[in-house]
Structure 1
């Protein structure tokens, strides 16, 4: 089996378009520069220019910005099948940093190779645009969460979104998944303190909705969690229109 055939990115894009042999061959080329990165060391740092993009194959990454006072805001978490730094390749400078949550594997994609692949396979380009648009929709939801949702709904929405994203690449579902994030990661992503995160998770567990323990999320009452978060998965477009 080729690298591309078993890639989480291929699985994700296949939800949008039935990939042809030519398109799979192009994806195979994009996966050739395989690299590993250690936890806690930035792959790309804020303000860096001229860097490549990456296709995450295994492990989790957080993208974040550091403020002048040293505080960190996590913008999003990347999971297998996600592109890292796609926007900054086109804009030439990264506006945020990428840090592996644990040891990861990723394929490095040079800007020239990416542009050549997109020009060669317009349908694949459309599928990647779909994935990028989906990522943008998630950032909008995160903004709404931080600005308008209370802490319980914010956490519930975040966990439901993670489960949906992982389900798309076969790594879990909305009722349970492995999650390597710490309470400090959750705090920096959700605009809460670590103490508040701990309190919220305890309350959700005591209400019989969800348990986050020992690196695993277990959803006990999916309907109750969806109602609490007012979660509508339409923005994730999990079953994008298949292009012929």
Structure 2
């Protein structure tokens, strides 16, 4: 895959029109390609001197473990996302990251990021945009957990995934392929797996969305958007701001 076709390039291009120099610097992020099996813990909480990764293929999740063995999934990562960017800036990793599916990712060292910031300021701005966008999503996830009903929570989550995948050419208003299980959804949305099953059934029966056999299909995108109160403004992906 050329750097122009990479999911990360497509994602960052939503914020800044990348120059040839930016693309050359970005290509250096992809030098150390690695593969991981489903279930592999790529970064663990408390790890020192962890690497970060750029996800090229597959899905991952970031999470925190609780003392009782419970797990709160903070977010899911899709192609084009950074994995563990804070882990190379903090002394120790504050969260864990696990491969949800078999994945391909490029290992990124702290020196790669710092050199990019020095050599390509516009690219550095785009990386900062990506990190800020991730923070904005976490804010929405907090609202999801604290103030939205189970149905609204699920609707908002699926619409956000759709928008993120659409940015890298993997989804549209009709739907998207999704490898997540009901247990993943439960750990992300603060629901039990039984409750997740019930919510998905209600949304399907009411003609909003169908999630079956690894595929999310939007049966009525407009009504689902209204149900969730979903506004893509916080994702900030309507086109390059810097040219």
> Normalised by the size of structure 2, how large is the TM-score?
0.98
CA drift at 1:223: 1.1
**In 1, distance between residues paired with 2:118 and 2:138?**
27
- Unaligned runs of 5+ residues in structure 2 are none
The answer on whether the counterparts of 1:46 and 1:96 sit within 8 Å (CA) in structure 2 is yes
* Equivalent residues, number: 243
Alignment match, 1:9: 8
Name the SS for the 2:116 alignment partner. helix
CA drift at 1:241: 4.0
**In 1, distance between residues paired with 2:149 and 2:117?**
41
Alignment match, 1:78: 77
The answer on whether the counterparts of 1:160 and 1:174 sit within 8 Å (CA) in structure 2 is no
**In 2, distance between residues paired with 1:46 and 1:65?**
8
Alignment match, 2:169: 170
Is 1:135 the equivalent of 2:126? no
User: 1:44-123 alignment to 2 at 5 Å?
Assistant: 44-123=43-122
The answer on whether the counterparts of 1:162 and 1:174 sit within 8 Å (CA) in structure 2 is no
CA drift at 1:92: 2.2
Alignment match, 2:27: 28
Name the SS for the 1:65 alignment partner. strand
Q: Which runs of 4+ in 1 moved over 6 A?
A: none
Q: Give CA deviations for 1:89-127 in whole Å, capped at 9, x if unaligned.
A: 111211110000010000001111211111110000000
**In 2, distance between residues paired with 1:173 and 1:145?**
22
Name the SS for the 1:64 alignment partner. strand
- Unaligned runs of 5+ residues in structure 1 are none
> Normalised by the size of structure 1, how large is the TM-score?
0.98
The answer on whether the counterparts of 2:145 and 2:153 sit within 8 Å (CA) in structure 1 is yes
CA drift at 1:240: 4.6
Alignment match, 1:155: 154
**In 2, distance between residues paired with 1:39 and 1:92?**
27
**In 2, distance between residues paired with 1:154 and 1:99?**
23
**In 2, distance between residues paired with 1:78 and 1:146?**
19
**In 1, distance between residues paired with 2:9 and 2:234?**
20
**In 2, distance between residues paired with 1:138 and 1:72?**
19
Name the SS for the 2:43 alignment partner. coil
